[in-house]
């Protein structure tokens, strides 16, 4: 299937928590729900039983998970008295994060697509009923029962993105690209490498407690970090650079990999990038698997890698992976809207495209940095950790806390499919370093 610029999907910005507007909330809920429905419209009932990633459940789980989450949290918050289907709400309650495929909790019997879609229909009606009963004008914070509703909305949007990564790994012949889903044009020419100097500064990590949009528990707190002078690349690392790394034997050189990264590579027999496709193992012109198709390799698009590959690519380049505080220093001059990056047109966020775009396509910051936000997530060298003042939210105590470990790496910046508060400059993402997201890397170096 050929690529096209035709693209009609868009995402609404999230509603304010300062002045509750049930009509606005209902519209945002419908937008959230519709985007997820569009994504899963690509998956046939037969393909719902597929497990594209051995570290995650079959796709049918994720079709049901976001719906069950609304119900479970609304019950916990006391906004509804009971669930709709206790069996499904238990089955779909919790996602997984195994270190290896053998550690994945498995179920022999998954419900059919018809059963899950009927359940989703009932959940959609229930959430609308809850929204219709809310009093307008209230100010909502983490102590309000209505926070559970905002939590369900943003959780839904998180899984729009994570489910898209799973669907991207499914066999293309098992999928049908949704109407209106287009890709950016592939290009042959990648920009020349250019370094940008970042002067010494101090940054504050953390979302202000008085901010007027929903935030997850790990975003709150404050940490002031001095940042020494450093340089970073003006562009994200490209497919052209990743191909040079591969062609130079980067996937076969243990000197370039961390101990854990080399163990992962050897255990799984990894020989090249996850989303690249070759007609033959040493074909110099691989194709790229995008959401629903394989296309000619867009050399100027960002390289999409996991955390181990990001580190190895940086070492091969004579550089390193950026730190979280350095990322904050780099984006300090980026164009924002109301203190946030949501709906900022300068950034490849919120489904403005159905794929990544060229690394020089988005407007640069005043410093000349492209993709300060968006396009693909940026792996960082930091382990995922709490900020001073962190408190787990009682409605979702295990959202962040179990993942503050050296096994989980941090990412910032958002991707082309990050929507809602996932596109916020305060959103902090994490994954095990061997897991894949729409994520790349920006190289950095000391000066």
CA distance 266 to 253: 11
pLDDT exceeds 50 at position 137 = yes
DSSP 78: T
What's residue 307's pLDDT? 98
- Same structural domain, 167 and 213: no
Tally the residues of the chain: 447
Residues 112, 156: one domain?
yes
189, 300 contact by CB (below 8 A): yes
The three-state secondary structure class of 270 is coil
Cβ-contact 228, 397 below 8 angstroms: no
Of residues 302 and 284, the one with the higher pLDDT is 302
375 burial via Cβ count (<10 Å: 0-12, 13-18, 19+): buried
CATH of the domain at 31: 1.20.120.450
Q: Examine residue 204 and state whether it is found in any structural domain, yes or no.
A: yes
Report the number of distinct structural domains present in the chain.
2
State which of 139, 174, 209 marks the end of a domain: 174
> What per-residue confidence (pLDDT) applies to 107?
74
48, 144: one domain: yes
295 and 324 in a single domain? The answer is yes
Pairing of strands 439-440, 377-383: parallel
| Distances from the Cα of 369 to the Cα of 90, 330, 363, 372, 423, angstroms | 46, 8, 8, 6, 18
Residue 400 resides in a domain? yes
Give the residue from 174, 209, 244 where a domain finishes.
Answer: 174
The encoded tokens of residue 387 equal 């900020």
Does residue 152 carry a pLDDT above 60? Answer: yes
- 342-398 confidence digits (pLDDT tens): 666 778 889 999 999 999 998 898 889 999 999 999 999 999 999 999 999 999 999
* Whole-number percent of the chain with pLDDT over 90: 83
Q: Is residue 230 part of a domain?
A: yes
Once rounded to an integer, what is the mean pLDDT over residues 36-45? 96
Answer whether residue 177 shows pLDDT above 50: yes
What letters, b where the CB count within 10 A reaches 16 and e where it falls short, cover 179-194?
Answer: eebbbbbbbeebeeee
DSSP H or E segment with residue 309:
helix 307-316
List C-alpha distances in Å: 398 to 76, 189, 227, 301, 395: 14, 44, 31, 35, 9
Residues 258, 353, single domain; the answer is yes
Residue 284, pLDDT > 90, answer: no
Q: Is 185 left (phi over 0), alpha (psi -120 to 50) or beta?
A: beta
Instruction: Tell me the percentage of the chain whose pLDDT exceeds 70.
Output: 95
Do residues 72 and 212 both lie within one domain?
no
Cα of first residue to Cα of last residue in the chain, in angstroms, is 46
Distance between CA atoms of residues 2 and 296, nearest Å: 9
| Domain membership of residue 142 as a residue range | 22-174
Q: What's the CA gap between 214 and 419, in Å, rounded?
A: 13
């Amino acid at each position: 299937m050929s690529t096209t610029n035709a693209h009609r999907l868009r995402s609404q910005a999230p509603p304010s928590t300062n002045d509750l507007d049930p009509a606005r909330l209902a519209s945002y809920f419908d937008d959230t729900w519709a985007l997820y429905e569009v994504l899963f419209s690509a998956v046939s009932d037969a393909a719902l039983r597929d497990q594209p990633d051995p570290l995650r459940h079959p796709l049918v789980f994720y079709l049901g998970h976001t719906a069950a989450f609304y119900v479970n949290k609304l019950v916990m918050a006391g906004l509804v008295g009971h669930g709709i289907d206790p069996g499904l709400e238990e089955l779909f309650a919790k996602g997984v994060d195994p270190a290896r495929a053998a550690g994945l909790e498995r179920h022999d019997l998954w419900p059919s697509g018809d059963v899950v879609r009927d359940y989703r229909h009932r959940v959609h009606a229930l959430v609308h009923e809850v929204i219709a009963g809310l009093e307008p004008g209230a100010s909502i914070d983490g102590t309000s029962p209505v926070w559970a509703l905002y939590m369900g909305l943003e959780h839904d949007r998180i899984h729009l993105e994570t489910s898209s990564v799973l669907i991207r790994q499914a066999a293309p012949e098992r999928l049908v690209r949704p109407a209106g889903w287009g890709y950016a044009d592939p290009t042959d020419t990648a920009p020349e490498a250019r370094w940008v100097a970042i002067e010494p500064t101090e940054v504050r990590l953390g979302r202000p407690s008085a901010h007027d949009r929903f935030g997850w528990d790990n975003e709150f707190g404050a940490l002031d970090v001095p940042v020494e002078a450093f340089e970073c690349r003006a562009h994200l690392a490209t497919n052209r650079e990743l191909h040079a790394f591969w062609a130079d034997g980067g996937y076969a050189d243990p000197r370039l990999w961390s101990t854990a990264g080399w163990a992962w590579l050897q255990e799984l027999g990894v020989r090249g990038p996850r989303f690249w496709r070759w007609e033959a193992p040493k074909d110099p012109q691989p194709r790229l698997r995008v959401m629903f198709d394989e296309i000619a390799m867009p050399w100027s698009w960002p390289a999409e890698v996991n955390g181990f590959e990001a580190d190895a690519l940086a070492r091969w380049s004579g550089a390193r992976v950026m730190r979280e505080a350095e990322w904050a220093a780099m984006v300090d001059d980026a164009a924002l809207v109301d203190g946030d990056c949501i709906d900022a047109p300068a950034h490849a966020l919120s489904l403005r495209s159905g794929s990544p775009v060229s690394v020089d396509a988005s407007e640069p910051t005043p410093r000349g940095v492209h993709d300060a936000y968006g396009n693909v997530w940026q792996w960082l060298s930091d382990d995922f950790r709490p900020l001073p003042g962190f408190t787990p939210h009682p409605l979702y105590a295990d959202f962040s806390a179990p993942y503050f470990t050296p096994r989980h790496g941090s990412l910032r910046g958002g991707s082309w499919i990050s929507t809602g508060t996932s596109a916020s400059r305060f959103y902090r993402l994490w994954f095990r370093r061997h897991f894949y997201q729409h994520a790349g890397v920006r190289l950095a170096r000391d000066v």
